[in-house]
Amino acid sequence: MAERVADIGEFGLIRRIGSLLDTDGRRSGRVTTGIGDDAASFLPRAGYELLVTCDSMVEGRHYLPAHTRSFDIGRRAMTLNISDIGAMGGDVLYALVSLGLPAQTLVQDVEALYKGFLHELNPLDASIIGGNLTGSGNGMVIDITLIGEVEQGKAVRRSGARHGDAVLVTGFPGRAAAGLQLLLRGAHEAGLADNPLVSAYTTPSHRARVGRLLAQTGYVTAMTDTSDGFPGDLGHVCEASGVGAKVVKEEIPVDEAVREAGRILGRDPYEFILGESDDYELVITCDPRHVPFLRSVAARCSAVPLTEVGRITAGRGIDMVLPGGRKIPLDAAGFDHFRR
């Protein structure tokens, strides 16, 4: 019979996790105290700012447990946080993981979860240095605090966009939104888990390496990831920078798989692209003269396109320019956990 968390208890589970991290995880010489004490400690580097972010995933709210393996849930949870560090041009260093677990959770599922965390952290030479465990009566809750660093004065924020800047986006926004709708429509269809759009929802990719390289050029004026959807996160940049934006509909990159999903679901593919979608692409602004150079830099580490889709304006709000020149306002509210 498979072991459950209730069978080995909190401290037995901590020992299992510690053993797994020792075997499969990375070690850093800068960590002076890791798992097993009241707090973790590490040595910061002179000349660097620390970046700290946290994000939570709640079962049934942020992922569908019946359609996502524990390993992939771990990957997804860590990617959310890595994306935030990358969107400020930083390197990922250390993670602290807090879990709320029902007592009947299988121990092997918790171990698979941590293997998913490490799958995303190990390529970045980052490590898990602490966390917390608690019981949960209403499904699993995963809360991750991620620590990164960036050279002092070189962090890229949302607040630097300027009138006349080009607006760029990596990849193809809307893939995760289309994948979620395909999953909800055909949850029991054979092979659906292998659909690239469904994978974009269950195990999204971050653009941390691209964000880091672009930030190092010094030419990026503002940057954020698209965790709330492309218009929503462009709206966050505009609000923080005190500017507006115009986006040219014909310039927005549309993945052919998203077009096909639109045909299957009977929906306009732009509904996925311009709505809520946790794709974890990057929205970037820069002087238009630097667009070709930034594209060449991005191409060094990724085959994902970097597309110019519009310009920053002096006004407020976001307009989309339709074929023929007519403008319509875009809803830039983005995803809101508490909005109906």
Neighbours of 10 (CB within 10 A): 13
Among 151, 175, 190, which residue terminates a domain? 151
Same domain, 316 and 284: yes
Distance separating the N- and C-terminal Cα atoms of the chain = 43
**Do 184 and 298 share a domain, yes or no?**
yes
Reported in sequence order, the residue ranges of 162-317 that DSSP labels E, i.e. its strands, are: 166-170, 220-225, 244-248, 282-286, 306-313
Both 250 and 179 in a single domain?
yes
Do the strands 318-321 and 327-330 form a parallel or antiparallel pair, or are they unpaired?
antiparallel
The whole-model pTM stands at 0.93
Pair 132, 219 in one domain: no
Q: What is the pLDDT of residue 60?
A: 73
In a domain, 337, yes or no: no
Answer yes or no: are the C-beta atoms of 321 and 327 closer than 8 Å: yes
Say yes or no: 288 and 193 in one domain.
Answer: yes
**pLDDT-flagged residues of the chain (< 50):** 337-338
Do 9 and 39 fall into the same domain?
yes
Whether residue 339 lies inside any domain: the answer is no
* 245 and 127, same domain (yes or no): no
Residues of the domain holding 303: 158-330
Rg (CA), the chain: 21
pLDDT of residue 331: 80
Domain stops at, among 151, 183, 209: 151
Q: How many domains does the chain have?
A: 2
Same domain for 142 and 64: yes
CATH code (residue 296): 3.90.650.10
Q: In this structure, are 120 and 178 located in the same domain?
A: no
Buried b (16+ CB within 10 A) or exposed e, 26-61: eebeebeebbeeeebebeeeeebbebebebbbbbee
Tell me the pLDDT of the chain averaged across its residues: 92
Residue 57 CA to residue 101 CA, distance in Å, equals 12
Q: Give the pLDDT score at 156.
A: 97
Contact assessment for residue 156 and residue 223, using Cβ atoms and an 8 Å cutoff: yes
* Burial of residue 250, with CB atoms counted within 10 A of its CB: 0-12 exposed, 13-18 middle, 19 or more buried: exposed
> Is residue 72 located within the same domain as residue 140?
yes
Tell me: do 105 and 164 sit in the same domain. no
Q: Do 163 and 300 reside in the same domain of the chain?
A: yes
